[in-house]
Amino acid sequence: MKPDDLLAKSSFFESLPDASRRQLARICVLKKAKKREIIFLEGSKGDLFYQLVSGKVQLYRLNDEGREIAIKVVKPGETFAEVILFDQDRYPVCALAITGCELIAVPVSEFSRLLENREFRNDFISMLMKKQRYLTDRIMYLTSNDAENRFFRFVLDQYGNAGEYTIGLSKKAISTAIGVTPETLSRLVHRLSDSDVLDWTGDHLNISRAYLLKFEKSGR
């Protein structure tokens, strides 16, 4: 698939006029990342930002003790690292491919020239505001929800309310994404398994639909 077609599936770039999107497509580079590959590290020089085409990417920071603090699990169609366009020239977080990934890489220097177009620039600022609202909501989410709420809302957000899932992420990756330790997630899964709420064997996760429904109704 061509970059122009891929950009049209983006949660942001799909809103660009066709002519602007074609201009953007000409400067894009298609890349692949293997599972567990570091895309960039916190503090490294930022000369590219990205749109995820397929797979999942974990954005995280390391605290003073070296523990990963989850920021976001990026899903296909979402952009990330665009903060380097305005705020600073170094990446403020780490990015890890938690599955095999395909990405569109956008050179910052060339994208900056496109921002001289007012319509293009206004659309991009609108996306940044949406990201800011997401981060505000994320802080509220982490401070107002316990591990069980975080887990079930993560499942609903990433996989929907089917009740039966094939999970392509490790339990460590999920614990990072919901902001708990692997041990906390393990204890939660064990408790819920004992209560017949869920069964998690290998990549297969089954959750009671009735139990899942209450989290869907509680303000996703």
Domains of the chain are: 3-143 (2.60.120.10), 145-216 (1.10.10.10)
Contact 112, 85 (CB under 8 A): yes
Res 220: pLDDT = 42
Average pLDDT of the residues of the chain: 83
Q: What angle do CA 14, 18, 21 make, to 5 degrees?
A: 65
Query: Residues 82, 122: contact at Cβ < 8 Å?
Result: no
Q: What angle do CA 148, 94, 204 make, to 5 degrees?
A: 40
Q: Is the pLDDT of residue 161 over 60?
A: yes
Average pLDDT over residues 151-167: 86
Dihedral sign for Cα atoms in the order 157, 30, 28, 91: positive
pLDDT, tens digit (0-9, with 9 covering 90-100), for 54-85: 999 999 988 777 778 878 889 888 889 988 87
What integer is the mean pLDDT of 86-96? Answer: 86
What 3-state DSSP class applies to 11?
Answer: coil
Are the C-beta atoms of residues 24 and 10 closer than 8 Å to each other? Answer: no
| Rounded distance between C-alpha atoms, residue 113 and residue 128, angstroms | 18
| Cα–Cα distance for residue pair 81/79, rounded to 1 Å | 7
User: DSSP state, 9?
Assistant: T
Tokens of 144: 């107002």
How many distinct helices (H) and strands (E) make up the chain?
8, 11
Phi, psi values for residue 91, rounded to 5°: -65, 130
- Which amino acid is present at 196? D
Q: Which residue has the higher pLDDT, 180 or 189?
A: 189
Decide which of 172 and 35 is more confident.
35
Q: What is the mean pLDDT of residues 8-32?
A: 81
- pLDDT score for 159: 83
Query: Coil, strand, or helix at residue 99?
Result: coil
More confident residue, 42 or 141: 42
Q: Is 105 in contact with 50 (CB distance < 8 Å)?
A: yes
For residue 126, is pLDDT > 80? no
Write out the two tokens for 165: 């899932």
